[in-house]
Chain A
Amino acid sequence: DVVMTQTPVSLSVSLGGQTSISCRSSQSLVHSDGNTYLYWYLQKPGQSPQLLIYKVSNRFSGVPDRFSGSGSGTDFTLKISRVEPEDLGVYYCYQGTHYPWTFGGGTKLELK
């Protein structure tokens, strides 16, 4: 199985500040069709996960441009700028390239 390793496990940030989360996969996430099926989700406290970024760098509908994704191959990054209170929660990366599809362990974003 592809192991998705997120760092750090937890993160403290000031409102209005900027931060980033790293996600590394144990295998390249480039599919034979040329796509890289790497996604980012946010699970706010007491809620179900919500899609933020699809295929590395595309923001899902309604996601503010404060969120940006980048990376390739096995190394990926989610950047959050101008952090707002509603950004707090646990962030997960996920790969849909290789079966079984797998998630990272999560990064908890808290207020400093």
Chain B
Amino acid sequence: EVQLVESGGGLVQPGRSLKLSCAASGFTFSNYYMAWVRQAPKKGLEWVATISTSGSRTYYPDSVKGRFTISRDNAKSSLYLQMNSLKSEDTATYYCARMWEPHFDYWGQGVMVTVSS
């Protein structure tokens, strides 16, 4: 059974940093692209970042490019999201997701990030 478990969320002040983690199990992690998708409170879904199987290629939308960095450790079956220069509009539930072709076939339960002073 595919399992994705996020951690590292919490309350952070604007301009500060936070790093999210996602522990994967139930599949061969190194064979899949992985991604982060977020959902602001009572809002829709927004793709945030994607990383290739080896970690050599990363992709971001303009809203987070230059501030967020996705990375992975295949030996630990773990995915990360380093978030810098956080803004109030980054407040959201962040989901770790496995990718197959250009879509997300399995999602974690999500972790909440609140950016507020």
Contacts and interface: CB of A to CB of B under 8 A. Distances in A.
B11 interface: no
A56 to B, nearest CB: 12
Nearest to A54: B103
A94 interface: yes
Q: How large is the interface on A (under 10, 10 to 19, 20 to 34, 35 or more residues)?
A: 20 to 34
A94 B110 CA distance: 19
B109 interface: yes
Nearest to B59: A99
A37 B102 CA distance: 7
Contacts of B46: 103
Q: How large is the interface on B (under 10, 10 to 19, 20 to 34, 35 or more residues)?
A: 10 to 19
B26 interface: no
A101 B102 contact: yes
A61 B32 CA distance: 18
Interface stretch (A20-28, A45-53, A65-73): A45-53
Contacts of B105: 51, 54, 60
Given A51-B104, A97-B102, A103 B45 contact: yes
A102 B47 contact: yes
Contact of A48 (B59, B103, B109): B109
Interface in B63-107: 95, 101-107
B41 interface: no
B108 interface: yes
9 closest A-B pairs (Cβ-Cβ)?
A96-B102, A100-B61, A48-B107, A103-B45, A101-B47, A39-B103, A96-B103, A105-B44, A106-B44
Interface of B: 37, 44-47, 59, 61-62, 95, 101-110
Given A49-B45, A92-B44, 20 more contacts: A1-B61, A37-B101, A37-B102, A39-B103, A41-B45, A48-B108, A49-B95, A51-B104, A54-B101, A54-B103, A60-B105, A96-B101, A96-B103, A100-B47, A100-B62, A101-B47, A103-B44, A103-B45, A104-B44, A105-B44
